[in-house]
Amino acid sequence: MQNIDNALLELPAELVTRDQDILSSYLTDFRRQYTGATTALLRPRHTADVQTIIRVCAKHRVGIVPQGGNTSYCTAATPNADGRELLISLEKMNRLRDLDKENLSVTADAGMILADLQRAADEAGLLLPLALGSQQSCRLGGNLSTNAGGINVVRYGMTRDLVLGLEAVLPDGSIYSELNPLRKNNSGYDVKQLFIGAEGTLGIITGVSLKLMRKSCQTITAFLAVRDISSLSAILNAAQIQSGEAITSFEYISSASLNLLLTAKKHLRHPLPDESEHYVVLEAATVSPILNLEECMNALLAELLESGMIGDGTIAASQQQRAALWYLRESIPEAEVHHGGSVKHDIAVRTSRLSAFIESASRLVKKHRDDAILSIYGHVGDGNVHFNIVPPIGIDQNAFKDRVEREISPEIYQLAFEMGGTFSAEYGIGRVKLDLLRRYGAEGKTHIMERIKTAIDPRGILNPGKVIP
């Protein structure tokens, strides 16, 4: 601990918190998979503080773990259990720096909570399209560091697609700052891309510039009972054509996921009179006062009913009904927790192979355990499905989950790989998917990652043990 103690002696006292009661709330990850330890939490107030912290830690070769809202699904923001790393939280860096309505851009500190920036955009009459389940607590630096996805990717892309500029402190304490919110800039390598999705292993993001969008004047949400899972792409295609590509969300819910939810929350009602195997929550939005979205959605439902692709469907008639439909989709993770947890697989394949993947993976699970509950849902418009295995009622849940992770998960990842898919569509690598990256990373990729890591962080002080196998 000599190194850490020497580093802490050099750091300004006002940045350092050693109170273990305070610390403890930062040390367990969001999914409660891992609890780390640390001597101190560092809370910089501005970019210069981050530089000071990194310079001191670099000098003493102390590892630093950056944390935003602590909502990682793969323990990317949790320090090691040996207590030899310092934790840095950017929660005090939460200023809005600039909002340019005409340029449709916003610049903010990386510690700002996503929902706070959404509100700031909304108050300016604009839309920040990044929308996630954890938006009330996740922070921008974490959103960029994990290249967060969410429910609007089908229209607005991943976080990477929204980033116009970035400021980061490097492992030697120097600054990279390219925050100008330009739509086009080919002045050398696009260095900001390096830090997006790097989970804090190459630099600590301190500021971000993001695109804003015009706010819609019409939004319409529908809930569809889909006859055959192989028609999901055709349904999305029909919806895009009818609406002029106004679809903002296209989310799949399996009957098992919906049933878990209706069991967990008895006051909820099924939105359709009859049950189905497959459901879709679909949303369209437009800034146009001329395009008649309701007409589009009615035409879509008529087309889908007539072709037999859906058995039934309902369009939200009020803001309250719209919220109720979204509550169904967004409460599934909570319903899984209520049930006792699940073994999650965050898979993406080509949209043209999605139903084949779901069918093969389901057969594979049932072959092992025909009592397993398959909670399958997700952002199928992007080819991304959360394929989660939930223990049946009345058995030792932890034993079941351990066995699934040991025996079934490897086969699911192998299947995704063989179908040209990925083992991590939106959650990232963190500490928990290093083995998968080693096994299924693209040809030559980890070799390049290692070279970049060594070039930028030769002492390996930033988020040690994460992302790089």
Q: Check if the beta carbon of residue 248 is closer than 8 Å to that of residue 203.
A: no
The yes or no reply on residue 30 touching its own copies (CB under 8 A) is: no
Site for its own copies in 220-259 (CB under 8 A): 233, 237, 240-246
Instruction: Take residue 463 and report the two structure tokens written for it.
Output: 């988020």
Out of 177, 263, 319, 398, name the contact with its own copies by CB under 8 A: 177
Strands 163-169 and 204-211: antiparallel
3-class DSSP state for residue 374?
A: strand
Site for its own copies in 79-118 (CB under 8 A): 100-105
* DSSP letters spanning 163-176: EEEEEEE-TTS-EE
Site for its own copies in 36-65 (CB under 8 A): none
Q: How many residues are there in the chain?
A: 469
Out of 289, 318, 394, 406, name the contact with its own copies by CB under 8 A: 289
Our CB check for its own copies shows the closer of 369 and 459 to be: 459
Our CB check for its own copies shows the closer of 3 and 351 to be: 351
Site string for its own copies, 396-435 (x = CB under 8 A): ------------------------xxxxxxxxxx---x--
Within 8 A by CB and 6+ apart from 455, the residues are: none
- Residue tagged 């892309």 (tokens): 157
Site for its own copies in 364-383 (CB under 8 A): 379, 382-383
Half-sphere exposure of 303 (CA within 13 A, CB side): 16
Site size toward its own copies, by CB under 8 A: 96
Site string for its own copies, 318-347 (x = CB under 8 A): ------------------------------
Our CB check for its own copies shows the closer of 39 and 242 to be: 242
Question: Strand 384-390's sheet: what is its strand order?
Answer: 310-315, 218-226, 278-286, 247-254, 373-378, 384-390, 346-348
Report, in Å, the least distance between residue 381 CB and its own copies.
Answer: 8
* DSSP letters spanning 446-468: HHHHHHHHHHH-TT--BSTTSS-
Out of 42, 348, 404, 462, name the contact with its own copies by CB under 8 A: 348
Residue 94 identity (one-letter amino acid): N
Q: Check if the beta carbon of residue 300 is closer than 8 Å to that of residue 224.
A: no
Our CB check for its own copies shows the closer of 113 and 154 to be: 154
Site for its own copies in 180-209 (CB under 8 A): 180-191, 193-194, 196-198
Out of 295, 405, 407, 418, name the contact with its own copies by CB under 8 A: 295
Our CB check for its own copies shows the closer of 328 and 425 to be: 425
Q: How many other β-carbons are positioned within 10 Å of the β-carbon of residue 398?
A: 11
Q: What are phi and psi of 96, to 5 degrees?
A: -80, 125
